[in-house]
Amino acid sequence: MFVFRRLLRGSFINVNCAGALQKGIDIPEECFKLFGVRRFTSVSIEKLDLRGIFPPLVTPFNKKEEVDYHRLEDNLHRYSSVPFRGFVVQGSNGEYTYLTSTERIEVVRRVRKAVSKDKLVVAGSGCESTHATIKMTTNMAEAGADAVMVVTPCYYRGQMNSASLIHHYTKVADTSPVPVILYSVPANTGLDIPIDAIVKLSAHPNIIGMKDSGGDVTRIGLIIHKTKGMDFQVLSGSAGFLLGGYIVGAVGGVCALANVLGEPLCNLQNLCSLGQWEKARELQYRLIEPNIAVTRKYGIPGLKQAMQWFGYNGGNCRSPLQPLTEEQTKELRKDFVSNDWL
């Protein structure tokens, strides 16, 4: 028996019939017409290709700390000439924790409208509760997201063991109308998704991969090894270890630095795909210090400042984040100048 779930005014339908579809059993089209909904199946979900570079878009704010959609859209226009695979919207660099639910969904809607259909839009739909994450995931899918990236709940991190995280991600994936990507960012959340939980979740037909921002290449390699044969795609979560990720089998990267140096990061991806490892290594060396500067060292304020130097609109941050001091700005610039980017 097929299970139909109507989600958000009947706009989407989730069909729990992966096994049946893979065996050639199809659902009569009349059923979908009866419900007046779109059709999503795990067959199409499993084929979503994540290979490539994704910038986790920043959210520009104006002087009143309102979302500056005009500057956001201008950035997307400028990025249209860069061979990105797609864009991550409302990731950590999008200051999603400072946005209202309405703003989060509207940003996704604006990005989907502004970029070409061949670019994937991956929306960060993670919330602290499973209930809220399911609702946000559905809303972001309706706003145009091709997939969602779900960060680990972390406020009660002491209770976020394998069982809790498996339960959380399974519930989200069961009801999501679009593919789900796990997101582990221990620098912000204080926890990693345990490898045994990742292996278990990789078998879910609607969980297609993971972004790992921990920086431990041996862990990334082990995840890829343990999920071999599961059609599970791993993305490196930083430009600082992008080459290392490719060497152990990652398919791409979601890198803050791509907001600034998108072309060089795509070039690194291309060098790796061609097996030109010496050239890739030399390019990786030049990316390490700028990447540290716009992530661990100066964070989002540093990233937004660097974007301004390269012709993009970083905009203001939303409080309590503050702009860089004059001295910090000088130090940031040195990291780009010394590696021949400025």
Residue 102: how many CA atoms within 13 Å on its side-chain side?
2
Listed in sequence order, the residues at least 6 apart from 256 whose beta carbon sits closer than 8 Å to its beta carbon are: 55, 56, 93, 238, 239, 291, 294, 295, 303
What six digits make up the tokens of 289? 């210090």
Active site residue 47: no
Residue bearing tokens 């991190």: 157
How far, in Å, CA of 150 to CA of 133, rounded? 8
Q: What are phi and psi of 27, to 5 degrees?
A: -95, 130
How far, in Å, CA of 311 to CA of 81, rounded? 14
Q: Which residue, 91, 125, 121, is CA-closest to 105?
A: 125
Which one is catalytic: 211, 228, 279, 330?
211
Catalytically annotated residues: 211
